[in-house]
Amino acid sequence: MDHGQLTMVADKFQWVFSEVRLNACGKDVKWCRRQRIITPFRLALALTATCASQRVETIADFHCGFHALFGTTVTYKAFYNQVAKPHFADFSRLMTERLIGDMTLKVLGFKKGQAFAAFRRIVIQDGSSFAIPDGLREVCPGRFKVVKPAAVELHTTLDLLCDAPTTVVLTPDTTSEQAFVPEPPSLRASVLLADRGSVDLHYLRRVQDEGGFFLIRAKAGMNPQVLEAFREDGKRLRALRNKPLQTIHAKLPKRQRVALRVRWDMDGTPLELRLIVSWNRRTKSFCYFLTNLPSPAYPLEVICRAYKWRWQVEIFQPHYDSSKLLSLTAA
């Protein structure tokens, strides 16, 4: 990080952790009307510093962190009473939104002329499921009731170039991922990478109409009309043209990947996309990638490498090296 970036981070930090603004925020959400020792500013700073410096398992960890940072003698009961207030959740949510929204800084990029250099954002959307105590099964039912009667899912959107999450939503595990994909207007001049749960042709059309792009792992069983078919070595597969995908499915090559130009007729208007098909030897099944990235600038090899960003990024595991991800795409 150069001197200019350090200055930007310092300015952002002072803005996010402004004592006047944080104290006003605590008052606005009706959490802390009378500011004594545990002010919104002090508690927000202590919670952030504690989470950033150690593993937090109990409220006592935050209590100790508050003491260490400000040298106070507040009892545990007094501290607990403050964080147990219902409006403290509102304050915490607003604080998290400010950290995510205001502390991001573009730290990765591409040289001019390289693949993906023209996009202002590379957006990765994914969800992770976590089992919780079975007693919460009525409130947060799990998708796999035998293994996980109660479970939640963390839906997260990551801006890869900023190396930071932009939205985080916690829901019952049975909630569909499609409800948390980015709004199409927000994807203008950007690329969305998502899993099969996000495949919705009407949504993809809206993204395309707004000037956005996507690379999504598609579901098996789709049956668009195949307009053109090219093998990885460039050979045109004329026998696969102008036929429904399921009709030619058994004829798809397994030794080489295939790029298909496909079309769906939706409400009387065609939707044409690229469908990349490859054979997975381990699972003995085909893998599909659906995209509207143009073929001259984004050949089959680049498409398949780019999708590996989703596989190698563990959104809430801070130990991956994001700089290595960019080497996965061809120049």
Can you tell me the distance from the alpha carbon of 23 to that of 161, in angstroms, rounded to the nearest whole number?
32
What pairing do the DSSP bridges indicate for beta strands 213-218 and 190-194? parallel
Which residue numbers in the chain have pLDDT < 70?
Answer: 1-6, 8-9, 103-105, 107, 197-198, 311-331
Helices (H), 71-219: 76-83, 88-102, 201-209
What pairing do the DSSP bridges indicate for beta strands 258-266 and 269-280? antiparallel
What is the rounded radius of gyration, in angstroms, for the C-alpha atoms of the chain? 24
Give the three-state DSSP class for 144.
Answer: coil
- Token reading at 302: 């680049």
Query: What's the pLDDT at 20?
Result: 87
Can you tell me the distance from the alpha carbon of 167 to that of 169, in angstroms, rounded to the nearest whole number?
7
Query: What's the pLDDT at 256?
Result: 92
User: For 308, which DSSP code?
Assistant: H
Helix and strand counts by DSSP (H, E) for the chain: 9, 10
Query: What's the pLDDT at 327?
Result: 41
Residues making up the chain, counted from first to last = 331
Query: What's the pLDDT at 9?
Result: 64
Angle between helices 19-28 and 40-53 (to 10 degrees): 110
H/E stretch holding 165 reads: strand 164-172
Can you tell me the distance from the alpha carbon of 135 to that of 141, in angstroms, rounded to the nearest whole number?
10
Nearest alpha carbon to residue 174 among 196, 202, 148, 200? 148
What pairing do the DSSP bridges indicate for beta strands 190-194 and 121-131? parallel
Q: Residue 237 in contact with residue 218, Cβ under 8 Å? A: no
Q: Convert 237-286 into a string of H (helix), E (strand) and C (coil).
A: CHHHCCEEHHHHHHHCCCCCCEEEEEEEEECCEEEEEEEEEEEECCCCEE
Q: Residue 217 in contact with residue 307, Cβ under 8 Å? A: yes
Can you tell me the distance from the alpha carbon of 329 to that of 216, in angstroms, rounded to the nearest whole number?
16
Q: Residue 39 in contact with residue 23, Cβ under 8 Å? A: yes
Query: What's the pLDDT at 1?
Result: 52
- DSSP symbols for 21-70: HHHHHHHHTTS-SS-SSS-HHHHHHHHHHHHHHS---SHHHHHHHHHHHH
